[in-house]
Amino acid sequence: MSGHSKWATTKHKKAVIDAKRGKLFARLIKNIEVAGRTGGGDPAGNPTLFDAIQKAKKASVPADNIDRAVKRGSGAEAGGADYQTIMYEGYASGGVAVLVECLTDNKNRAASDVRVAFTRNGGSLADPGSVSYLFNRKGVVLVPKKAADGPDLDEETVLDAVLDAGAEEVNDLGDSFEVISEAGDLIGVRTALQDAGIEYDSAEAQFVPSMEVEVDVDGARNVMRLIDALEDSDDVQNVWANFDASDEVMAALEEE
């Protein structure tokens, strides 16, 4: 299992904690607003909005909050902020590359938060382009193994459903499968799963590392500390890092 997949598993577990802190809800709501502003408020004609709503529902964001976010984004209701996407690049200790995606209505605040997080956690900001070339933008769909009704899914069933739609690989993350495709094939892969009657938790474009840096327990702990600090900022929407950690390292971290 690749480091990326382990990180995806860890993020999945962290999502529960994030939800308790209210961070996850805020990010999901922001995604919906931006998707509605970019492509209109009709999920049937706006696949990005459809997927943003789907992810929010899976995370138990209240329906009223979702509806209001759609209305704010589409302009049907006042109060939506003018969010801009800004990417920051940097390094964690040990040379691990880190990409930070901010969705903010205040560039200065976002830049300050990101800079402080790197500085206080043994990392350093880097010039644009110095880190991003180590990542490829991919479509990533998370499919839970346990279906709401019916038997649990196996890898072959998922593969059969998505192979002709452009899927490149299916990774076993333990509780779920991760389906990776080119970003442009994301909607096709998601639609293929729907047509096969397979539920999915999320479908979105992400940055997947093309090469990874192996880390020990200390290295993994340092990367996680930096990522946690970055995600404490309300302006930070996503963080990606190209570290690879063994099963033993990840297990040791989870015990802490």
Q: Pick the range with the lowest mean pLDDT from 9-18, 51-60, 224-233.
A: 9-18
Distance CA 226, CA 114 (A): 10
The phi-psi region of residue 14 (left if phi > 0; otherwise alpha if psi is between -120 and 50; otherwise beta) is alpha
Which residues on adjacent β-strands are paired with residue 170?
Answer: 179
CATH class of residue range 84-133+211-245: alpha beta
> Would you place residue 7 in the very low, low, confident or very high pLDDT band (cuts 50, 70, 90)?
low
Reported as a single tens digit per residue, the pLDDT across 24-64 is 888 999 999 999 988 888 988 998 999 999 999 988 889 99
Q: What is the overall mean pLDDT for the chain?
A: 87
CB 140, CB 208: distance < 8 Å: yes
State the residue for tokens 């499919």. 143
In the predicted model, is pLDDT for residue 13 greater than 60? no
How would CATH label the architecture of 3-74?
Answer: Orthogonal Bundle (1.10)
CATH topology of domain 135-209: Alpha-Beta Plaits (3.30.70)
pLDDT at 1 over 70: no
84-133+211-245 shares its CATH topology with 135-209:
yes
How far apart are alpha carbons 249 and 217 in whole angstroms?
A: 5
pLDDT of residue 82: 81
For residues 134-146, give the mean pLDDT: 92
Q: What is the pLDDT of residues 78-95, one digit of tens each?
A: 766 788 999 999 999 889
Give the start-to-end residue ranges of the domains of the chain: 3-74, 84-133+211-245, 135-209
Q: What average pLDDT score do residues 231-253 get?
A: 86
Q: What is the CA radius of gyration of the chain?
A: 18
**pTM score:** 0.83
Q: Which residue has the higher pLDDT, 137 or 246?
A: 137
Residue 139 has pLDDT above 80, yes or no: yes
